[in-house]
Structure 1
Amino acid sequence: MHGRTVDALALDNYQRAARVILAHHLVTRTYPDRIALPLIRRWATELREDLAALFGYRLEVTETTARVFPVLDRLDTSRPARTQADRVFDRRRYAYLALAVAALGRAGDQITLSELADQVAAYTSRVDGLELATDRTADRDAFVDAVGWLTHRGAITLADGDASGWANDPQAGEALYDIDRPVVVALFRPPRALQHLHSVRGLLTEAAMATSGAAPAPTAAETARRVRRALVERPVVYADDLAAQDRGVLAQERIVAEVELFTGLHAERRAEGVALIDSSGRLSDIRFPGTGTLAQVALLLAGEIADLVLDIDNPLPRRCCAPDRGEALAAQLDDTIPESSVFAPLAELRSLDPPEREPVSPEPDQDQTAARPVAATYPLVDATWVRETVQALADRYGATFAAQWQADIPGLATEVVSLLERLRLIRTVDDGLLVLPALARYRGAVVTVRTKRAAELFVTAADTYESDRPARKGTD
């Protein structure tokens, strides 16, 4: 591992490069900023070897791009594509994005926005239920959001015109883009040809597929790499979420220390699991605690939930954690695969269903029962209590909220709960939410509300929320 041999004065620089490439996977001359690519290129050899040894990732570095090809152990919905206004992509925007990448791969050095739209519209005619009608405002807005995502990452660069002008009136507005072909090529590099897959599970690592009987059991080295991947990909790694062999690896000091040395982050260890604390902000896609109404209300709600859980006079009911949504998500995605697009003669995975097994006796022997681990249970908070608590917070501090949330408290409650779930502080269930152990580190939140003084005529009231706990950031 090169982190042990890099000069002490340069170690921080190396760790910063590691955090950048782990956070973004694709680095270009302008994305995420102009200093990222030179930083990655400086340490390209060391990063390539350490990423392969520690995580099983492959790093490709060129003059204009740096691309990490990760290993997928599970399906993850916590990092969706977002618009420039921070709205989550819907299915239509994802479809336009995929088709735009396909069109750019066949284009020349430049393309106009209307030409790109015409090509994408032609592609949509081959997909049932999908259409890009440039005379519809909603379709144009969704298409421009997909183009904006590509522009932000440097796949295309605006040379002339204005995309918003075209979105407002395609007859009067136009935009011309330069195409950066290496970035376009680097954007879409699936580990397997999609036309050869009958299931989205075929994109997962061989070790993950082993649980379905489609691959042999992983070796000790592969298990260690899987645990290290979990540490840098999840905000919190709970031991109860891991397989039995993975829990033993997570408990090893050496495994966690290697990730700390590579990333420069501090690992917070608890009996329930491990979390990397990112005070640098270079590995996190979510800053928490943070600024803005959602982050601030989420911190306040976390404090309220912690107080409720710690109230010994009114103990909460407990329930086993809900099963991982990965299998349900995989089934939903598999149902949407058009069979006509699958190239059957070269199909790599015709079925990933577990093999048939002998029926299990309804009365296992005593030794089997003793060896079976006891499922962890977590406090259950009623959904009604959550809504009422968010409403109470709005009644108390609502004047300091962003205008859109002042008018939509139910929507605010939904988004706040979603944020806490992305941070793996809670798990939502049908009738409420399960409180996960990491939420306890945000108990005792302190609120300070600044109000304008009489001499300050034009100062807008603002609030700040401070925690007596160190700030931890999400590392999805």
Structure 2
Amino acid sequence: MSTGTAVQDAAGRRDAARALLQRPILTATHDPDNFDLVRRHSAALRAMFADRLGYTLIVETEFARLVKAPLDAAAPLRPLHRTTGGDFGAVGYTYLALTAAALLAPGRGDQIPMSVLVDQIRADAAAQGIEIADGLSERRHLVAALQALMEWGVVGETDLGEDQDREDREEGEPVLTVCRSLLRHLTAFALHDLPGPSAAIAARPETPRRRLYRRLVEDPFTARDDLDPEALDVLIRERADLARRLDEDFGLVLEVRTEGALAYDPDGSLTDVPFPGPGTVNQAALLLISELVDIADPVPGSAVHVDTDTLQNTLSDLVAAHARSWRGEYVRDVTALRRDVTALLVRLGLARAHDDGLLLAAPAARYRPTIAESPQP
């Protein structure tokens, strides 16, 4: 193999691995280019993900599914997002599970009318003693679940035409086409075999090297205090090797400081939470960081504790200054804005929840805006 071909293959594997990290479900219909790239390098990718991260890569003719392993308890939570904004709550996940189960009900083919799906969801919920609301609330949760499944490529809407109407289909109602082979791989394993719900998210015993590598790949920032002694020892002794692997596998750059470690993407594209970014919550979080760092004036590399009153008052001042450009619901309810901004900072690894407020992590100071000086004429 020539040097040029080897370099191209390495770049292709890295691009395919980045695509899978960003979207663990790739389909031939929704993302044909990345799906073809993954199929081309599937053997190498399976070995790399299994060895480095303990992940399982499933590649079939219609889809590629990267099944990830649970992170440890100190890792930031990553809830599923609704397309309309906000996170899936307990009720949202309940509807998602009921919808997926109904689509896999015995005797169902690859197409199912919407009314039949709804009836199956209600029957399954009743059989399990799950109370679901009627009316608008039910429709909203069902739509959110179906939108998530459509985004993943599990279901799609089909127009059967007048000559293909089914007996169980109401006139004019939508019919869903189901990719049952992908649907079976949404979870890492069969849930009915588990002893209880907690077993589905329990982290498996792993080597310190794999635990550390997984945190570096998946988390924006890994605090030194979050690492157990074995993982910290790996970070210190194998720093150069870790940096090489992160660059070769995913194009990430490792930075290690006193407060912890960061594997960042110079391109800024490998993330599921763009920050800084557009929107009221992103803008408020960025400005809040700047204000809090100015107020606390912390020693470089140290975390900052911010009490709830300071958070509320600082955000209130920011809302007053930006009321015309920020979303009205947040302008009217600063407490809701504080909740969502705090959740964003925690998800990014830039803060931790605290009994009274939050603990702003040292890397948050990176996002403090600086004034660029214009050159003198």
| TM-score between the two structures when normalised by the length of structure 2 | 0.86
Matched, 1:91 2:90: yes
Structure 1 segments, 4+ long, off by >6 Å, are: 170-173
Q: CA RMSD of the aligned region, Å?
A: 2.7
Aligned position for 1:260: 247
Matched, 1:130 2:128: no
Q: CA separation in 2, counterparts of 1:260 and 1:38?
A: 22
Q: Is the 8 A contact 1:268 1:275 kept in 2?
A: yes
Aligned position for 1:273: 260
Distance 1:203 1:423, change over 3 A: closer
Q: CA separation in 2, counterparts of 1:108 and 1:379?
A: 56
Matches for 1:297-316 after TM superposition, within 5 Å: 297-310=284-297
Matched, 1:102 2:101: yes
- Structure 1: segments with no counterpart, 5+ residues: 162-169, 208-217, 313-375, 447-465, 467-476
Aligned position for 1:7: 6
Aligned position for 1:53: 51
Aligned position for 2:63: 65
Deviation at residue 206 of structure 1 after TM alignment: 3.2
Distance 1:255 1:61, change over 3 A: same
Q: Is the 8 A contact 2:306 2:359 kept in 1?
A: yes
Aligned position for 1:79: 78
Q: CA separation in 2, counterparts of 1:428 and 1:116?
A: 40
Deviation at residue 77 of structure 1 after TM alignment: 6.3
Which of the pair has the greater relative contact order for Cα pairs under 8 Å at 6+ separation?
Answer: 1
Matched, 1:432 2:362: no
Aligned position for 2:222: 237
Q: Percent identity?
A: 29
Letter in 1 for 2:307: D
CA shift digits 1:150-177 (9 cap, x unpaired): 111111111139xxxxxxxx99862111
Aligned position for 1:150: 149
Letter in 1 for 2:213: R
Q: Is the 8 A contact 2:221 2:349 kept in 1?
A: yes
| TM-score between the two structures when normalised by the length of structure 1 | 0.69
CA shift digits 1:263-314 (9 cap, x unpaired): 01222221221112224344311111112221111111111122223268xx
Q: Secondary structure at the match of 1:111?
A: strand
Give 1 or 2 for the bigger CA radius of gyration: 1
Q: CA separation in 2, counterparts of 1:154 and 1:205?
A: 27
Aligned position for 2:305: 380
Q: CA separation in 1, counterparts of 2:139 and 2:171?
A: 14
2:209 aligned residue (185, 206, 224): 224
Q: Is the 8 A contact 1:110 1:177 kept in 2?
A: yes
Aligned position for 1:392: 317
Matched, 1:293 2:280: yes
Q: CA separation in 2, counterparts of 1:200 and 1:6?
A: 47
Q: Is the 8 A contact 2:246 2:253 kept in 1?
A: no
Aligned position for 1:450: none
Distance 1:64 1:146, change over 3 A: same
Deviation at residue 403 of structure 1 after TM alignment: 3.2
- Structure 2: segments with no counterpart, 5+ residues: 161-168, 373-377
Distance 1:30 1:85, change over 3 A: farther
CA shift digits 1:7-32 (9 cap, x unpaired): 2244333212111112222222244x
Distance 1:242 1:156, change over 3 A: same
Q: CA separation in 1, counterparts of 2:256 and 2:352?
A: 20
Distance 1:155 1:132, change over 3 A: farther
CA shift digits 1:47-69 (9 cap, x unpaired): 11111121121211111111122
Aligned position for 2:176: 177
Q: Is the 8 A contact 2:243 2:253 kept in 1?
A: no
Q: Secondary structure at the match of 2:318?
A: helix
